[in-house]
């Protein structure tokens, strides 16, 4: 089987060396070249024909976003953004995902001391997922915010809960779903595999585009209709009861199914807490996090949906869930928001 050909673009010679060392330690990956800036990278893309490119987010004197936009227009390819854990890095990286990047990898704070080696498994996983990714067209930069609508009484019961899990490609998939929800939509809880600090920026950006209120989840918060709660990038999100109300439970802890936040952790909690008064949705992503939890939701009486292969950036998590019988219906991304609302209305009529 051919190895994945990777081009590394970063202004730091140390970072280029460290990324190369980590990636070449995997027999399935070959680093075919490195570049200190987009100008050199442009020529190396032409001569080396890489399968995947890593691209530094913040490069002095160079606009990584402009370069990404040109690459996606002239020579579309899977790109993984390499970002610092900063507010600016998060904002730029989220914009990069809108422009067509597949995923984001965070530089550790102690990279100069060799701390990047602790990220080996995550980085290799992201490169392999990117190599399998189906590219989506870039977002229209003129996309506008949606006017918030007045809340009606259709979905007021917080017992009608929607739980969504996603990974690679999920940031943009979630955007498609959330912006389509009305202001009075059922409450939504989300576990997306996303770096720490990025989740808050992601929630803020979605909140500005959506009729529902979107926020990063905090512990012991009452779950309300018309609200979307996104798990922090380094914490598990679960759902619990406090009397008649549903509340968030956000906590640190070991990885579950290899991840934190974990889709399985969220889905299992919803199965135990909400039984049949829930809808579970598993979206694009590599691996099988969420498959077992979605099966638990279905066995508890919840309705379950999976994104079908035609619209997935990576058809991994939905495929794993489908193969074990956790998914009642597979649908393209464009139909999932409407189906969520239809199922919640049907549950409300029970």
**Which residue ranges form the domains of the chain, and what is each CATH number?**
4-132 (3.40.50.2300), 161-344 (3.40.50.180)
Query: Which range has the worst mean pLDDT, 112-121, 168-177, 205-214?
Result: 112-121
One of 20, 159, 193, 262 is an active-site residue; which one? Answer: 193
Which residue, 179, 200, 146, 164, is CA-closest to 281?
164
pLDDT at 144 over 50: no
Q: Which of 55-59, 185-189, 202-206, 312-316 has the lowest mean pLDDT?
A: 55-59
Instruction: Report whether 105 contacts 97 (CB < 8 A).
Output: no
pTM: 0.92
Could you give phi then psi for residue 155, rounded to 5 degrees?
-120, 30
Whether residue 193 lies in the annotated active site: yes
User: Could you say which of 10, 289, 292, 303 is catalytic?
Assistant: 289
Question: Catalytic residue at 199?
Answer: no
Query: What is residue 151's predicted lDDT score, i.e. its pLDDT?
Result: 40
What pLDDT score was predicted for residue 148?
39
- Taking residue 153's Cβ as centre, other Cβ atoms within 10 Å add up to 8
Please confirm, yes or no, whether 12 is among the known catalytic residues.
Answer: no
Mind listing the pLDDT tens digit for each residue in 40-99?
999 999 999 999 999 998 777 677 888 999 999 999 999 999 887 667 778 888 999 999
Whether residue 349 is preceded by a cis peptide bond, meaning omega within 30 degrees of 0, is: no
Token duo for residue 275: 């039984």
pLDDT band at 179 (very low <50, low <70, confident <90, very high): very high
Mean pLDDT, the chain, integer: 90
The tally of CA atoms less than 13 A away on the side-chain side of residue 67 is: 24
Q: Which of 167, 199, 201, 262 is labelled catalytic?
A: 167
- Burial bucket for residue 283 (CB in 10 Å: 0-12, 13-18, 19+): buried
């Amino acid at each position: 089987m051919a190895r994945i050909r990777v081009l590394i673009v970063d202004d730091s010679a140390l970072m280029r060396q460290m990324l190369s060392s980590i990636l070449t330690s995997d027999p399935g990956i070959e680093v075919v070249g490195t570049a200190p800036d987009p100008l050199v990278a442009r020529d190396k893309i032409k001569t080396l024909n890489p399968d995947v490119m890593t691209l530094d987010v913040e490069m002095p004197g160079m606009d990584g976003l402009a370069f990404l936009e040109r690459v996606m227009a002239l020579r579309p390819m899977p790109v993984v953004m390499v970002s610092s854990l900063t507010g600016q890095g998060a904002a730029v990286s989220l914009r990069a995902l809108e422009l067509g990047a597949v995923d984001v990898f965070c530089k550790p704070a102690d990279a100069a001391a060799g701390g990047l080696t602790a990220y080996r498994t995550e980085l290799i996983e992201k490169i392999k997922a990117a190599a399998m990714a189906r590219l989506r067209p870039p977002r229209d930069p003129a996309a506008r915010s949606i006017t918030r609508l007045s809340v009606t009484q259709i979905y007021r019961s917080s017992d009608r809960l929607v739980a969504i899990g996603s990974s690679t490609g999920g940031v943009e998939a979630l955007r498609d779903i959330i912006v389509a929800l009305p202001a009075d939509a059922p409450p939504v809880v989300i576990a997306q595999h996303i770096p720490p600090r990025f989740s808050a920026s992601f929630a803020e950006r979605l909140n500005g585009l959506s009729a529902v209120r979107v926020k990063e989840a905090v512990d012991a918060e009452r779950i309300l209709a018309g609200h979307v709660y996104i798990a922090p990038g380094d914490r598990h999100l679960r759902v619990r009861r406090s009397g008649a109300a549903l509340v968030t439970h956000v906590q640190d802890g070991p990885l579950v199914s290899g991840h934190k936040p974990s889709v399985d952790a969220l889905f299992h909690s919803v199965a135990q807490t909400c039984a049949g008064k829930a809808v579970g949705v598993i979206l694009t992503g590599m691996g099988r996090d969420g498959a077992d939890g979605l099966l638990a939701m279905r066995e508890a009486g919840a309705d379950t949906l999976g994104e079908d292969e035609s619209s997935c950036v990576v058809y991994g998590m939905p495929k794993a869930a489908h193969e074990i019988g956790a998914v009642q219906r597979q649908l393209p991304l464009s139909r999932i928001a409407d189906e969520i609302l239809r199922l919640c209305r049907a549950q409300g009529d029970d």
